[in-house]
Amino acid sequence: MCGAIIAGLLLLALLPSALAESWQGALQRGGTLTVDPGSRRALIEQDGRERPLWDGVHRLEDGSTVTIRDGIAVPTAAMLDTWRGGPVPAATYIDRYCQQLVRKTCGFDNACNHGAACLRARTLLAAEGREQRDLPLTAGSHPQTDTSGRCRAALAEPDFTACPSLTAVTGDSRCRALVAQACGEADACATSAACDAARQLLALETEERLENDDPAVASLTGRQCLEALDNPFFAACLTANPAANR
């Protein structure tokens, strides 16, 4: 467990913010504001010259504002979208645990529709639906019930196995390629820190895809995996000498 935590922390340190694009916005009073994704330093380019932008609240041409403190920009939603490579997918199912369980066990493509785990998950989803219908309208559109809690716990239970199609090579997982690269053929480098970190990312990505409305859209962790493919830490497993990858 300790090794897994260390690998995860190391991964966060290794994913370079330089891979993200600088955010730019047109200032209402003229000039272009540029914010670096790593340092968050704010610079204004005007009349062919670039200089730090003074502290305060600055209005952009679109009417939005950017706050600068000690030369550092307070990140806005637009900046975060740019640095993440686009808007984060909507987490429609984030608290709909029975639907997550069905997606996990049956597959996004229903490839495991007749499996025992899938059938049990669908039974729980139906039970949750009956409980929700018995609740008053004031409970909301997707209220939590006793069965909701059961589904939440089941997401971590080994009896509710994940459908293999979730992380298939030909599927929409971006982290699957990172696992293949870091762990190697036949898991030759399975004990390496890089392989462990890649598997952690794959697990996180799967959780995000279960929560997101469209599992085919790259999640935040999926984008990190795409960036990590070029990171030396996740160099291809040397099958002939797996010890070199440790």
Domain-by-domain residue ranges, the chain? 23-84, 97-157, 165-245
- Inform me whether the pLDDT recorded for 97 exceeds 90: yes
CATH of domain 23-84: 2.40.10
* pTM as predicted: 0.67
- Inform me whether the pLDDT recorded for 6 exceeds 80: no
Cα maximum dimension of the chain: 68
Please report the DSSP string for the chain in residue order: -HHHHHHHHHHHHHS-GGGSPPEEEEBTTSSEEEE-TTT-BEEEEETTEEEEPPSEEEEBTTS-EEEEETTEEPP-HHHHHHHHTSPPPP-TTTT-HHHHHHHHHH-TT-TTTTSHHHHHHHHHHHHHHHHHHTS-GGG-SS---HHHHHHHHHTT-TTSPPPGGGG-TTSS-SHHHHHHHHH-GGGTTTTSHHHHHHHHHHHHHHHHHHHSS-TTS--HHHHHHHHHTTSGGGPPP-TT-GGGG-
In the prediction, which pLDDT does 4 show? 45
Structure confidence by residue, pLDDT tens digits, 152-204: 999 999 999 999 999 887 778 999 999 999 999 999 999 999 999 999 999 99
Structure confidence by residue, pLDDT tens digits, 11-31: 555 554 544 678 999 999 999
Structure confidence by residue, pLDDT tens digits, 101-138: 999 999 999 999 999 999 999 999 999 999 999 999 89
Structure confidence by residue, pLDDT tens digits, 203-243: 999 999 999 999 998 888 888 888 788 888 999 998 655 45
In the prediction, which pLDDT does 215 show? 92
